[in-house]
Structures are given as structure tokens and as C-alpha cells.
Structure 1
Amino acid sequence: MRLAVAPNGDVLLGWIEKAQEAGQPYGQDVHVARYAQGQWQHLGGALNYSRPREATTLDLAIDAQGRPLLAWNENLDHVDLHVVRSFQNGTWTDWDARRLGQDLTYAARVRRVASSAGEAVMVWGIQNTHMPGTLLVVQTWDGVTWRRSPPLNSGRQVALLPAIALNTAGAPVVTWLEGDAATSAVLVKRWTGTAWQALGGALNRRPNTYTFAPALRLDGAGRPVVAWLEDQDGIDTLFVKRWTGVAWQALGDALNVRTESPAGRPALALDAQGRVTVAWAEGLDGSRQVYAKRWDGKTWRGLGGGALSTSGRDAGFTDLGIGPDGRTYVAWQEQTAGGHVARVVELHSP
């Protein structure tokens, strides 16, 4: 599930919904809804190019004009087909011809998107048999084909879970994990117009340790803020750092509500004043609850008065967005007796 807030304050929610019919081995549909003037409105029906087909790895981005863009995988046997659609002039584009596919499921899922002028700016993983790891590039559509940037990394190690953001000039900034599962590094580079420039070294609190799920946003000056999970005494622990222009600055210590409780994949957003807000699910599988905190310049302050998910059921797949007026929205998936439902709440500063 993905949430984004448009420049006019409309809230967009994208999700993948089970649509399997009797006798079919699979069937999942991609949907988007917009919350405006107090109600949810679906933007079209199921957005898959082919049905029935398994859909995974959903991305949702919004450009400066407020146009939503989706990317996801439509899986066909052993091939992951990456597809993209943009909502323009009241309808979804038909860009099925732009699909990308790899017969290497792991590599094909190393993908995130941003949006510029209604077009996808995609960080993409390439895994070839002559390389031991994964090569990361940024791809854009030139009207005929996908044009690749120079690689961000050497390809000698595994690279995974990238995130991408664009500065006001449209230049990409990318964060990713590099290394094996137990000894990875959180790295960040930005495009200067001619080359990729590393922003400091690894962000990890401890070098060569387990890290996971980096999230990335830029402030008004184009400086990145990154949230990620890192092993601390066997617990997935949530940290945040901000690039000052010359170095990485830690924003406080761990965000976990309880030190013995593992945090899940974080969501990150900045308001117009550059204040950082993070949302995440915390706890053991089956009893996770959703929390949000905001950095006030000195410490992390909880939003919502405690856990945002109050039903007592398992919650996860958290996302977060902030509107131009400072309204803060958190979305998550919550377990029910019959499956799962999407929840969205608006938060207020303490």
C-alpha cells in the first residue's frame, strides 16, 4: 500500500487487492483512490494491463503538478514485468509498450520511482550473469526507449531496496543498501548533472551490520533525510539522519517505542518547514501496532497519543504523507477476520 499527498492537499492511496476467481491460481488488481472534499473517489477501476495476473511491488509518486504515477510488477511465470501508468487529463495512460522484464525475480524487484512532468524517473537494478552483484541505474523514457544513467555502483556487491527523490531542478538523489544481508551499508548519492556524487560514507550507526528498508525525502534545499532499520542487540531498530551539506547528522537516537520491540519498514515525510515525521509498525508479527513521531529540533515527539492502530489487530505496510498546509496522514494495512483493510488517519501536532 502506498500513500501520497498532492500539492493541492488531495490524498492519494494505491493498493493491491485480491481478485482471484474460482479455478484461477492467482489474481490481484491494482487500485488508486483520491480523498478530496471529505470523500474517497476511485480513479478508474482495476489498473492492471493484464488480468488475471499476480501484481506486486507497488510504487506511487506524484509530480509537482499533482499527477499520480504508478509502477508495479505483473508477474508472468518466472518473468517480472515492470509496468507504469500516469493519471493525465482525467484518465490513466496506456504505457503497456514501455514494460520492462527480467527473468531474474530478485533483480527485477530492485526498483523505485519518482515522477517528473508526469513521467517516471526509475531507479532500477540490473543483475547479469557476468557480475556477482547488482548494478543500479536511473532510467527515464526518452519517447522511444528507456535511457539509462551511468551506474551508481560497481556491481561487485548486491544492491537492494533503493529509494529515489528529485530536487527542485529534477535531479535524482538515491539511497540503497549494498552488501549481503548481515553486513550491508546504507549509501546515498546525488546526480550533479554529469556524474553521481557520494554524500559522505555509510549511514549505519555500526559499520558492516544488518540494515533494511531505507526511506528518503529531500528538504526545500534539496538536502536528503534518510530513515532506516539497523540491528541493535538483535532488534530491528529505527534511526534517522539528515545531510547538513557537509556531513550526516543523527536526529536523536532510536525511535522504537520499546527497545525490545522490533520496528518495521519506516515511512518518512517532511513538511514545508522541513520538519521530519516518521511512521512505522512495531512489534512481533501478529501483534504489530502503528506509531508516528515528529522531530522538533531536539527530540522525537509522538503523534496521535500512542499507537495509531487501536483495534488490537495486526497492522503493517505503513505509509505517510504531509500536505502543503501541514496536514499529516498515515496509512496502514490492518488485519480483519476476513482478510485485510486499509486505514488512513489524519494526525495533529502535539
Structure 2
Amino acid sequence: MHTEWVCFRMDSFLLSRVTMKNLSFIWMAMLLMPAACIEIPDLAVPPETLPGSDAGTGPQEQEPIGIQWVSPVEGATVGSIVRFQIQLTGPAPDSVELLVDGTAVATLEEPFVLDWDTQSISEGPHAFVIRARQGVQEFLSTPRQLMTDRTKPRMVAQAPLNDASEVSSLATVEATFSEALDPTTVNEQSVQLMVETTRLEAAVLLSGDGRTLTLNPTSPLPVNQRVRVVIADTVADFAGNKLDSASLDWSWLVPTHLHLGAPLTAFPGRSHIESASYGMGADLRPIVAWTDAGEETLKVYVRRWSGSSWEALGTPMSSGRVTNAYQCALQVDVDGKLTVVWFENMNFKDYEWFVRRWNGQSFEPLGPTLTPVVQGASVMDWRLAQGAHPYLTLASLEAGDGWQRIYVRQWRDGTWGQLGAGIELRANSIVDSFSMDVDGQGYPLVVLREQIGGIPSNTAMRWTGTAWQDIGSTLSGRSTALSFDASNAPLVATLDTLTGKPRTLLQKWTGGAWEPWGGALEALPGVDSTTVASVKLDTQGRPVVALHGVTGNDLNRSGKGQVRRWNGTQWEALGGILNPSPGMIPYSRPMLGMVSDDEPLLTWIEMPPPVYSVGGRVHVYRLNH
């Protein structure tokens, strides 16, 4: 090594162990010091640090090692496994290590890519540094602050709920997650709306914060189907954590009908519902009356649909005697006047009907309490009708020793009056069907079927204004419901077996005979028998019927319903099959109502099996569309 002697003055500054990186700095220092003579060796000038290098600050007696981060980027969120990738410049290192919060945790081998398991550190923020060693020297990268997240995102809210049984065909499909999802993993392939193996077209949207997933179907969801959302296991959060497996699939039922408000009961969980009646107010909003008892006698309850919920009309009604209000019926006239009638008896005698009319604030008596026409007679059955006119009509099937008659009374001019003589039935006959309705003039029609020795015969008696006219000679089958068309022609729904198998027909009185109106109604699928439970006319005068099908004949029997309309050439379904709510069975036939735009409503009583169990409710259904 070549040596030069330089004289200058020296103090403790030059005794420092600080390495001079620059000769000009040394010469400047010598000029500023008192003279002295020392031996100065030739100094090699190390190369400048490469621009952009993350080289550390170790001893620089030789060319430094530059450390460049490739991945992950600063501030990234990493999961259970994180890939570290770096690039080195300068001489080859003896070793390269990963430091977490200052502690070496792993070694990187060439080509300096490491998939590292984060299980040894806690979740949350940490400082990551790469350290390269060469001999006694070490070089450090700039630190990278990374957020460690090993928790799988999970679904914390969903609409519809998983296994929901009553979902609108227009429902919004939405899920909220515990943390943001990576939007690059969410698309119409990774998130799909399905019915069995068929995919439903739907737009897949992820909210700005990444936590809310929305599916917008391009058309209403199919009814009477189970719809499900299927999420692929490629959907993950920003750390790469895949969804919790419980969040990958959820499903719900889209029924053909939805409840109109909550099912009706006065004693949730312990009600005993004996009967229900249904009518439409002048505002085309439904009204329901039913008899209900919890731990007391049966009373009559009335609710009216407000447009958003069922509101109570008046207080529960009964005679106040220690007996039950076994049956109830309601009627609403064209002016919107609501009348409720219920029936009581004491020990199968002392039969009485109580009539109450709604005055806008409460129910008040309408006339005196009614008793059988024949004193001491037994009441076997009864019907109430009114129609659009104000003439409330009550028909009672009364029986005594060796006789049976039907008496019809009508409320006119503030009093109850009997219409003609009693309609005589055959002695000891069995009445297996009994219907009554009134036409637009207030004239009633009574239709029934009797059997003696298994041989049936029909009776159809129409009030002419002065007497009863028998028009039943050509009526076939067992009547199940009746009504009138716009011209006051009677309509009777029947179930007959003239063709050797049951046929459900709607028959119309033409003035001289009963003739089918429309073809036979196709039976409901999967039932033992199908009958017409109700008949109405829509605003265009077309007949609309509520069908009732029964399955089984024991105490666990169930049933179905459906609405159909005659369009002039065939019976068309208005909605699909009505099934009872899960875990319930129908106790009554469906009652039909028509709201605005000829929208049908179906009402029946449902209860837990077996029949006659407590816990029944009145259910009002609308179409799901």
C-alpha cells in the first residue's frame, strides 16, 4: 500500500471510529485542524448506493447488498399463508432472513420467494423486514407494515332467512358479511341463484364497503319452488380467507300464496277455534269473524284489515251465559253495514241466534234474539246470507219427532219475518249438503241433498217473492256452493258421479233446467277429492271458484286450495296450489273473497295435527306475485 506523510494537528475527533465515506470530507477535516504528521494510506472510494435500493446501513467496507420488495405491498392484509418475494442486487448474500417485529422467523432461499405460515403470530398489524448477511455485515430492507387476518368471513345477516317458508316472489336477496369481501372474487359465476339445477338470471352486486352482497333477479322468483343461493369457495376476503363453509349455501321456499298480515287468534298457542266467517267491506278490505277460546268459553272476535294490519272491531261477543258461541257468520251489505250472527245452545237445547250490527263504534243488537221457529225443535244446521241488499236472511234446518223442515227468515223493515211455509224434507233422511244464498232482489235460494238408504235426491227451492218454487228436478250431484250471476240466474257447484268418476261442475239454472257453465273442473293434484268451496263473480261477470281438496281421512288429514276462473273457453288457474303453513293442517274449507282488480283472497282455519287440537289460527292468503 502506498503511503504519504501529511503534517497536521490532530485531536480526539480523528480518534473516532466513524468511517469516512468521502475523501473530500477528510481533506476538509485536515485543513481545519492544527498541524501534525501522520501516515495516511490510500483510501478506496466505495460505489454509491443504487438508486431506489432498500439497502441497509451495515458496514460498507465492500459493495452493499440492495434489497427490493416485490410483494406484498405496504399496508396489505395477509391471511394464513403470505407469499414474500424480494429481489437482491450486489454481491451474493450468505443468508437472507424474514424478521417479524425484529425477530427472525424464516430463511429465504434463492430465488428469494417464501410462502410463510402466519400461525405463529397474532392477528393484527406487524412490521416485516428482510435481512441479508454477507460475512460480518448485514443489510436491512425498509420495513413493511402488514395486517395479519386469518379469520374466515362469515355471513352475519341474510334476507330471506335460511329455510324461510314464506318469501315474496319479488323479494330482495341480500347477505351481509362480517368483513369486506375481495370484489375480484365476487361475480355472476361465483355467486348464483338456483332452483334445483337451473340457474336463475340475476345481477350480482357488492356494496362499496365490500360487506353487503345483493342479487337482483331479472324476473320474479318462481313460486312453489325452493330457491337457493350458491356461493363458490373461491369467494374470499382481502387476506385470501375463503368464506366459512356454513355461508356457502342458503335456501328458502317461495310459496304460491302469502299471508295477508299475521294469522288471527285471540289466544296464541292455546286457542280453540270452532268456526270462522269472511266478508268484504265496502272498501274491498276483508273482514273476519271467528269463535275462539283459550281457558274460557268460546266468544266471537272480529278483525278488519286496515291496509297494513288486522284491527279489532269492538270487544269479544257472547251472550254472557255459561255456554259457547259455537258458530258465527258475518255479512256486509252494499252500503258497508256489517252484521255478525252467532249461535249458542245450552245442553243441546235452548237454541238461540244472536244478531249484532256494527255502528262504527261497537256492535249493537239487531232485533231480538232468535229461537227455532218450532218451539222445542232441534237445530241441525243453519246458514246466513245477505248479498248486496240490506235483507239479512237466516235459514235453519230444524227437526222434531219424525219431521225435518227448513225455515227461512228475513230482516226487513226492522223486523224478522218468515218467508212462506217451511220446506218439508223426507222423514228420517240424512242431509249431507245444505247451502243458501240470496240474489240481487233479496230472494233466497236453498239447495240441499238428502239420502235415504244410500239413495240421494236433490232439492232446490227458490223464493219468487210470494212462494217457494222447486227447481231441483234436473240438478245432479251433491251441491257444495252456490251463487248468482249478474242476471240473477242461480249457480250451483256440484260434485257428481254420472260419468262413473267424480266430476266437479258449475251448473247454471237457465229457466227450465240446470246446465253446465264451463267444462268440468280438473281435480287438484295429490288429493282424494276436489270440490268447489266458494263461488264469486269478478267485475266482468266471470265465475271465480275456490277449489278444496282433501288428502287422507283420519285426524291428520290435510288439504289444498286453488282459485280458478272461467275465461269463456276454459278454467284458468289464478295462482298455484295453496298449501297450509308448515306443520299445520286445514280445519275448514277455503273461503273466497275478491279485492280490487279482481285479486282473490283465500281464508281458512289451520291448526296443528291432529284435527281439533289447540293452537288453531285463521289464515288469510293473497297471491304471491
Q: Distance in 2 between matches of 1:319 and 1:10?
A: 15
Counterpart of 2:288? 13
Aligned in 2, Cα 1:253/1:85: closer, same or farther, shift over 3 Å? same
Which structure 2 residues correspond to residues 38-187 of structure 1 after superposition, within 5 A? 38-79=308-349, 80-95=351-366, 97-101=368-372, 103-105=376-378, 108-115=379-386, 118=390, 120-129=392-401, 132-141=402-411, 146-151=416-421, 153-157=423-427, 158=429, 160=431, 161-180=433-452, 182-187=454-459
TM-score (norm 2): 0.48
More RCO (CA 8 Å, sep 6+)? 1
Which structure 2 residues correspond to residues 300-339 of structure 1 after superposition, within 5 A? 300-309=571-580, 311=582, 313-317=584-588, 318-323=590-595, 325-336=597-608, 339=615
Q: CA deviation at 1:17?
A: 1.0
Q: Does structure 2 conserve the Cα–Cα contact (< 8 Å) formed by 1:263 and 1:283? A: no
Q: Does structure 1 conserve the Cα–Cα contact (< 8 Å) formed by 2:529 and 2:550? A: yes
Q: Deviations over 1:91-133 (max 9, x none)?
A: 212248323146554xx1332112376553112223233xx34
Root mean square deviation of aligned Cα: 3.1
Q: Deviations over 1:2-34 (max 9, x none)?
A: 21112320211111112334xxxxx21111111
Aligned in 2, Cα 1:254/1:168: closer, same or farther, shift over 3 Å? closer
SS in structure 2 of the partner of residue 134 of structure 1 = strand
Aligned in 2, Cα 1:233/1:42: closer, same or farther, shift over 3 Å? farther
Q: Distance in 1 between matches of 2:506 and 2:453?
A: 20
Q: CA deviation at 1:234?
A: 10
Which structure 2 residues correspond to residues 126-275 of structure 1 after superposition, within 5 A? 126-129=398-401, 132-141=402-411, 146-151=416-421, 153-157=423-427, 158=429, 160=431, 161-180=433-452, 182-205=454-477, 211=478, 214-230=480-496, 238-250=504-516, 251-258=518-525, 261-263=528-530, 266-275=533-542
Q: Does structure 2 conserve the Cα–Cα contact (< 8 Å) formed by 1:141 and 1:147? A: yes
SS in structure 1 of the partner of residue 319 of structure 2 = coil
Count of matched residue positions in the alignment of Structure 1 and Structure 2: 334
SS in structure 2 of the partner of residue 263 of structure 1 = strand
Q: Does structure 2 conserve the Cα–Cα contact (< 8 Å) formed by 1:271 and 1:323? A: no
Identity across the alignment (%): 23
SS in structure 2 of the partner of residue 59 of structure 1 = strand
Which AA in structure 2 matches 1:284? G
Counterpart of 1:24? none
* Structure 1 unaligned residues grouped into runs of 5+: 22-26, 206-210
Q: CA deviation at 1:85?
A: 1.7
Aligned in 2, Cα 1:159/1:168: closer, same or farther, shift over 3 Å? farther
Q: Which has the larger radius of gyration?
A: 2
1:347 aligns with 2:623: yes
SS in structure 2 of the partner of residue 298 of structure 1 = coil
Q: Distance in 2 between matches of 1:233 and 1:243?
A: 21
